[in-house]
Structure 1
Protein backbone atom coordinates (compact mmCIF):
# COMPACT_ATOMS: atom_id res chain seq x y z
CA UNK A 1 0.00 0.00 0.00
CA UNK A 2 1.46 3.40 -0.94
CA UNK A 3 1.94 5.94 1.85
CA UNK A 4 2.55 9.69 1.95
CA UNK A 5 4.38 10.90 5.02
CA UNK A 6 5.84 13.94 6.73
CA UNK A 7 8.84 13.73 9.01
CA UNK A 8 10.15 16.41 11.35
CA UNK A 9 13.91 16.68 11.05
CA UNK A 10 16.32 17.47 13.88
CA UNK A 11 16.43 21.12 12.74
CA UNK A 12 12.59 21.28 12.99
CA UNK A 13 12.16 21.40 9.21
CA UNK A 14 9.74 19.06 7.47
CA UNK A 15 10.37 16.52 4.74
CA UNK A 16 7.51 15.09 2.66
CA UNK A 17 7.83 11.77 0.85
CA UNK A 18 6.02 8.69 -0.34
CA UNK A 19 6.85 5.02 -0.08
CA UNK A 20 5.49 1.48 -0.27
CA UNK A 21 7.02 0.48 3.09
CA UNK A 22 6.77 3.21 5.72
CA UNK A 23 8.67 1.38 8.47
CA UNK A 24 11.59 0.59 6.15
CA UNK A 25 11.66 4.16 4.81
CA UNK A 26 11.80 5.68 8.31
CA UNK A 27 14.68 3.39 9.13
CA UNK A 28 16.47 4.43 5.93
CA UNK A 29 16.01 8.13 6.70
CA UNK A 30 17.49 7.66 10.18
CA UNK A 31 20.41 5.63 8.81
CA UNK A 32 21.22 8.36 6.29
CA UNK A 33 20.14 6.29 3.28
CA UNK A 34 18.23 7.89 0.43
CA UNK A 35 17.10 11.50 0.60
CA UNK A 36 19.98 13.96 0.74
CA UNK A 37 17.75 16.44 2.57
CA UNK A 38 17.27 14.23 5.62
CA UNK A 39 20.78 12.76 5.58
CA UNK A 40 22.21 15.77 7.41
CA UNK A 41 19.13 16.45 9.54
CA UNK A 42 18.90 13.21 11.50
CA UNK A 43 17.22 11.91 13.46
CA UNK A 44 13.84 12.32 11.82
CA UNK A 45 10.49 11.67 13.45
CA UNK A 46 7.35 10.56 11.63
CA UNK A 47 4.67 13.17 12.40
CA UNK A 48 1.97 12.40 9.81
CA UNK A 49 1.11 9.78 7.20
CA UNK A 50 -1.78 8.67 5.03
CA UNK A 51 -2.41 5.49 3.07
CA UNK A 52 -3.56 5.39 -0.53
CA UNK A 53 -4.93 2.67 -2.77
CA UNK A 54 -2.90 3.72 -5.79
CA UNK A 55 0.67 4.91 -6.13
CA UNK A 56 -0.30 7.74 -8.49
CA UNK A 57 -2.66 9.14 -5.84
CA UNK A 58 0.06 8.99 -3.20
CA UNK A 59 2.59 10.65 -5.49
CA UNK A 60 0.13 13.42 -6.40
CA UNK A 61 -0.56 14.12 -2.72
CA UNK A 62 3.17 14.11 -1.95
CA UNK A 63 3.75 16.75 -4.62
CA UNK A 64 0.78 18.79 -3.41
CA UNK A 65 1.99 18.85 0.21
CA UNK A 66 5.53 19.70 -0.89
CA UNK A 67 4.14 22.94 -2.29
CA UNK A 68 2.41 23.88 0.95
CA UNK A 69 3.58 26.44 3.47
CA UNK A 70 4.90 25.38 6.85
CA UNK A 71 1.68 26.63 8.49
CA UNK A 72 -0.46 24.52 6.19
CA UNK A 73 1.70 21.42 6.81
CA UNK A 74 1.44 21.97 10.56
CA UNK A 75 -2.36 22.25 10.31
CA UNK A 76 -2.42 18.89 8.52
CA UNK A 77 -0.09 17.33 11.10
CA UNK A 78 -2.20 18.57 14.01
CA UNK A 79 -5.44 17.45 12.34
CA UNK A 80 -6.79 20.99 11.87
CA UNK A 81 -8.06 20.18 8.38
CA UNK A 82 -10.67 22.96 8.59
CA UNK A 83 -7.76 25.46 8.47
CA UNK A 84 -6.27 24.08 5.25
CA UNK A 85 -8.39 26.16 2.88
CA UNK A 86 -7.79 29.38 4.83
CA UNK A 87 -4.03 28.70 4.71
CA UNK A 88 -4.05 28.16 0.96
CA UNK A 89 -1.59 30.28 -0.98
CA UNK A 90 -3.04 33.59 -2.05
CA UNK A 91 -1.70 36.76 -3.52
CA UNK A 92 0.81 38.79 -1.52
CA UNK A 93 -1.89 41.39 -0.87
CA UNK A 94 -4.26 38.82 0.65
CA UNK A 95 -1.54 37.37 2.89
CA UNK A 96 -0.56 40.87 4.04
CA UNK A 97 -4.19 41.71 4.85
CA UNK A 98 -4.51 38.57 7.00
CA UNK A 99 -1.48 39.62 9.08
CA UNK A 100 -2.77 43.14 9.66
CA UNK A 101 -6.23 42.10 10.87
Structure 2
Protein backbone atom coordinates (compact mmCIF):
# COMPACT_ATOMS: atom_id res chain seq x y z
CA UNK A 1 0.00 0.00 0.00
CA UNK A 2 1.38 3.36 -0.93
CA UNK A 3 2.14 6.00 1.68
CA UNK A 4 0.58 4.16 4.60
CA UNK A 5 2.67 3.92 7.72
CA UNK A 6 3.36 0.53 9.27
CA UNK A 7 1.01 1.02 12.24
CA UNK A 8 -1.92 2.01 10.03
CA UNK A 9 -1.17 -0.87 7.64
CA UNK A 10 -1.21 -3.32 10.57
CA UNK A 11 -4.49 -1.86 11.83
CA UNK A 12 -6.06 -2.18 8.37
CA UNK A 13 -4.82 -5.76 8.01
CA UNK A 14 -6.16 -6.63 11.46
CA UNK A 15 -9.56 -5.12 10.60
CA UNK A 16 -9.68 -7.11 7.36
CA UNK A 17 -8.76 -10.31 9.25
CA UNK A 18 -11.49 -9.71 11.83
CA UNK A 19 -13.99 -9.11 9.01
CA UNK A 20 -12.89 -12.35 7.29
CA UNK A 21 -13.41 -14.25 10.54
CA UNK A 22 -16.87 -12.76 11.01
CA UNK A 23 -17.75 -13.63 7.43
CA UNK A 24 -16.63 -17.24 7.91
CA UNK A 25 -18.54 -17.45 11.20
CA UNK A 26 -21.69 -16.37 9.39
CA UNK A 27 -21.09 -18.75 6.46
CA UNK A 28 -21.31 -22.02 8.36
CA UNK A 29 -22.69 -23.57 5.17
CA UNK A 30 -19.21 -23.33 3.66
CA UNK A 31 -17.32 -26.40 4.81
CA UNK A 32 -13.59 -26.38 5.52
CA UNK A 33 -12.99 -28.98 2.82
CA UNK A 34 -14.65 -26.64 0.29
CA UNK A 35 -12.37 -23.81 1.37
CA UNK A 36 -9.34 -26.10 1.06
CA UNK A 37 -10.39 -27.30 -2.37
CA UNK A 38 -11.06 -23.81 -3.71
CA UNK A 39 -8.57 -21.60 -1.86
CA UNK A 40 -5.97 -23.93 -0.38
CA UNK A 41 -6.71 -22.87 3.21
CA UNK A 42 -9.52 -23.22 5.75
CA UNK A 43 -10.55 -22.07 9.20
CA UNK A 44 -8.09 -24.51 10.77
CA UNK A 45 -5.28 -23.01 8.68
CA UNK A 46 -6.22 -19.53 9.93
CA UNK A 47 -6.15 -20.73 13.52
CA UNK A 48 -2.76 -22.40 12.95
CA UNK A 49 -1.37 -19.22 11.39
CA UNK A 50 -2.66 -17.22 14.37
CA UNK A 51 -0.97 -19.63 16.77
CA UNK A 52 2.26 -19.50 14.73
CA UNK A 53 2.24 -15.69 14.95
CA UNK A 54 1.69 -15.89 18.70
CA UNK A 55 4.50 -18.42 19.10
CA UNK A 56 6.89 -16.22 17.07
CA UNK A 57 6.18 -13.36 19.46
CA UNK A 58 6.36 -15.41 22.65
CA UNK A 59 2.62 -15.01 23.29
CA UNK A 60 0.96 -17.93 25.05
CA UNK A 61 -1.86 -19.21 22.84
CA UNK A 62 -2.93 -22.83 22.73
CA UNK A 63 -4.24 -24.59 19.64
CA UNK A 64 -7.69 -24.79 21.27
CA UNK A 65 -7.63 -21.06 22.09
CA UNK A 66 -6.66 -20.11 18.55
CA UNK A 67 -9.39 -22.33 17.09
CA UNK A 68 -11.99 -20.89 19.46
CA UNK A 69 -10.96 -17.40 18.36
CA UNK A 70 -11.27 -18.25 14.66
CA UNK A 71 -14.48 -20.28 14.93
CA UNK A 72 -16.15 -18.02 17.48
CA UNK A 73 -16.83 -21.08 19.66
CA UNK A 74 -14.95 -24.21 20.71
CA UNK A 75 -13.94 -26.24 17.65
CA UNK A 76 -15.73 -29.40 18.82
CA UNK A 77 -18.96 -27.43 19.22
CA UNK A 78 -18.59 -25.95 15.71
CA UNK A 79 -18.00 -29.40 14.24
CA UNK A 80 -21.05 -30.80 16.00
CA UNK A 81 -23.29 -27.93 14.87
CA UNK A 82 -22.03 -27.29 11.35
CA UNK A 83 -19.63 -29.86 9.92
CA UNK A 84 -21.06 -32.38 7.50
CA UNK A 85 -19.48 -35.61 6.34
CA UNK A 86 -17.33 -34.96 3.28
CA UNK A 87 -18.71 -36.32 0.04
CA UNK A 88 -16.73 -38.57 -2.27
CA UNK A 89 -16.50 -35.66 -4.72
CA UNK A 90 -15.11 -33.32 -2.05
CA UNK A 91 -12.56 -35.91 -0.91
CA UNK A 92 -11.44 -36.58 -4.49
CA UNK A 93 -11.00 -32.85 -5.14
CA UNK A 94 -9.05 -32.52 -1.88
CA UNK A 95 -6.67 -35.32 -2.86
CA UNK A 96 -6.19 -33.80 -6.31
CA UNK A 97 -5.51 -30.32 -4.95
CA UNK A 98 -3.37 -31.46 -2.00
CA UNK A 99 0.00 -30.51 -3.56
CA UNK A 100 -1.07 -26.85 -3.61
CA UNK A 101 -1.92 -26.75 0.10
TM-score bin (small chain): under 0.3
How does the TM-score come out when normalised to structure 2? 0.22
Q: Which has more helix, going by share of residues?
A: 2
How does the TM-score come out when normalised to structure 1? 0.22
